[in-house]
Chain A
């Protein structure tokens, strides 16, 4: 029986008397998962995510990170385990060189000398920014800045990565790079949780998807199940990725197609067309 790395137990949270952001949220994350957190803005995604690294503490209920209760454990202990990449790079970047930026995190954790250098180099190579150590972060283009913020968390070598809307404001190439990065981190054994609005990204990257709306988890399951749960998605005003919509429309017409990504669809059609009658 695997041990959960994060347990969210009946968490309630309110920013003030009027806005209750989380209403009894339960969630269990096992090591090595790749999870997408989706839902409209204001629904609780970011609030929930900030509970995972101790930035926010629940008003009711508790969050356990590797057994540590975030209400009683100092935040700087939690952030060693859960790394959080914020949405806007300009909220994080302040150093005069890329190297210093990536070194900031591990230095805060007490690393120095050779170990520090090793981590920085490793983090930069993970995101493909090696060679840019002496550049000024603000001279980089947006896509590279984004990668830099991820690198600066990678260098802290947490077990869990939370990425807050990494694809917002990116072009398609940038999204692909981030998608590949998430998969790579996951392959290395990291637990990755991504907040995103990009359903194509979710379909292509996440194995598990959690839909949160109005402070409650509406659905938590395999990405395929969630992205095809048409009624739940409609209630949350979320559109599935185009391929999933196509599959559903064809299923309604009696064709057994379950693809949610282009590659899956290609494979299914490969089988279909080889067995169907005269269609070319």
Chain B
């Protein structure tokens, strides 16, 4: 059994009406790894997420070449429903993920399980566990439509967690949320990461990503233009800016200080690192 939960080889894909959305994309994700995906809009990040659970190509059609294997399943050989047990995909807009079928938070989390035919006793246990994991305990009987943005998005995560997939894929989960909502969702993701979940997150919130991603992949116009440990990729300030991506502010600042003031500071990727580095550099503690 491979140690890699996700293996993407030479993935090239065109939608029926849009060509070369992904070109020759290859990467692997290990069990327990947290991979961040960054890049400008239109780079193919969402398409890549959808290729991981089979929506691409089964739902959209188009031209697909290459291989995507998730938890041992080749996405071409399995239906989206089958892949849904291995890959949990969370989308950007919290409200649009509500099934529209459930009256309570509990029912919403149970929805996926009931669609997949899990027995009732098992459903209850899984639902309660998932609700607890995302911090929505106590809200089981609330209507899903009464929740805040952050709560709704955490609900969406819970619905996916209940199925206990091998990998969690989140496509810009905080884009539509206010600061509290972003905080809530990132807290859940970090907690899951700490517990050893395999997670793939597409985000523009690079400063947050820097605090929990192991590796980072950058896409531009369908191709991978940077790949590697978070620290390495995020420090490539020129490369990132070339593709219209802002590195974390402290990273960019340090890069400029080194470049224009001739300093040789270590380049931080998080605020904590920056405080430490700058305090030392300025001789203060």
Please tell me whether chains A and B touch each other in their complex, using a CB distance cut-off of 8 A: yes
A265 interface contact, C-beta 8 A: yes
Contact with A along B84-110 (1 / 0, CB 8 A): 000000001000000000000000000
A92 interface contact, C-beta 8 A: no
A20 contacts across to B, CB distance below 8 A: none
A277 contacts across to B, CB distance below 8 A: 283
Instruction: List B residues 205-230 near A (Cβ within 8 Å).
Output: 207
Shortest A89–chain B CB gap in Å is 13
In the complex with contacts A42-B148, A246-B278, A255-B282, A238-B244 CB distance below 8 A: no
A40 contacts across to B, CB distance below 8 A: 178-180
Tell me if A242 and B275 are in contact (CB < 8 A): no
Q: Which range holds the interface residue count of chain B?
A: 35 or more
B263 contacts across to A, CB distance below 8 A: 273, 279-280
Contact sample, A vs B, 13 pairs, CB 8 Å cutoff: A142-B41, A172-B244, A174-B41, A237-B183, A242-B250, A243-B249, A246-B250, A249-B271, A250-B278, A255-B282, A266-B260, A276-B283, A277-B283
Tell me if A41 and B175 are in contact (CB < 8 A): no
A265 contacts across to B, CB distance below 8 A: 253
Q: Which range holds the interface residue count of chain A?
A: 35 or more
Contact with A along B27-69 (1 / 0, CB 8 A): 0000000000001111000000000000000000000000000
B interface residues with partner A (beta carbon < 8 Å): 39-42, 92, 148-149, 175-183, 204, 207, 244-246, 248-250, 252-253, 256-257, 260-264, 271, 274-275, 278-279, 281-285
Tell me if A279 and B282 are in contact (CB < 8 A): yes
Please report the C-alpha to C-alpha distance between residue A42 and residue B177 in the assembled complex, in whole angstroms: 12
Binds B, one of A71-79, A119-127, A163-171, A220-228: A163-171
Tell me if A239 and B179 are in contact (CB < 8 A): yes
Shortest A96–chain B CB gap in Å is 18
Q: Which of B181, B248, B253, B260 has the most CB of A within 10 A?
A: B253
Shortest A45–chain B CB gap in Å is 9
Contact with B along A216-245 (1 / 0, CB 8 A): 000000000000000000000111011101
Q: Which 7 pairs between the two chains have the least Cβ-Cβ distance?
A: A173-B244, A242-B249, A41-B178, A171-B41, A172-B246, A253-B284, A249-B275
Contact with B along A237-280 (1 / 0, CB 8 A): 11101110110011001110000001001100110110011011
Shortest B191–chain A CB gap in Å is 19
In the complex with contacts A172-B246, A277-B283, A280-B262, A237-B179 CB distance below 8 A: yes
Tell me if A237 and B180 are in contact (CB < 8 A): yes
A31 interface contact, C-beta 8 A: no
Which of B41, B179, B180, B279 meets A253, CB within 8 Å?
B279
Shortest B236–chain A CB gap in Å is 15
In the complex with contacts A272-B282, A276-B283, A200-B244 CB distance below 8 A: no
Tell me if B279 and A250 are in contact (CB < 8 A): yes
Which of B41, B149, B252 meets A141, CB within 8 Å?
B41
Shortest B49–chain A CB gap in Å is 16
Known: A250-B282, A253-B285, A279-B281. 19 other contacts (CB 8 A): A40-B178, A41-B177, A141-B41, A168-B176, A170-B41, A171-B204, A173-B245, A174-B41, A242-B271, A242-B274, A246-B271, A250-B284, A254-B284, A255-B284, A266-B257, A266-B260, A273-B263, A276-B282, A277-B283
Tell me if A266 and B256 are in contact (CB < 8 A): yes
Whose C-beta in chain A lies nearest to the C-beta of B41?
A171
Please report the C-alpha to C-alpha distance between residue A111 and residue B264 in the assembled complex, in whole angstroms: 60
Tell me if A245 and B282 are in contact (CB < 8 A): no
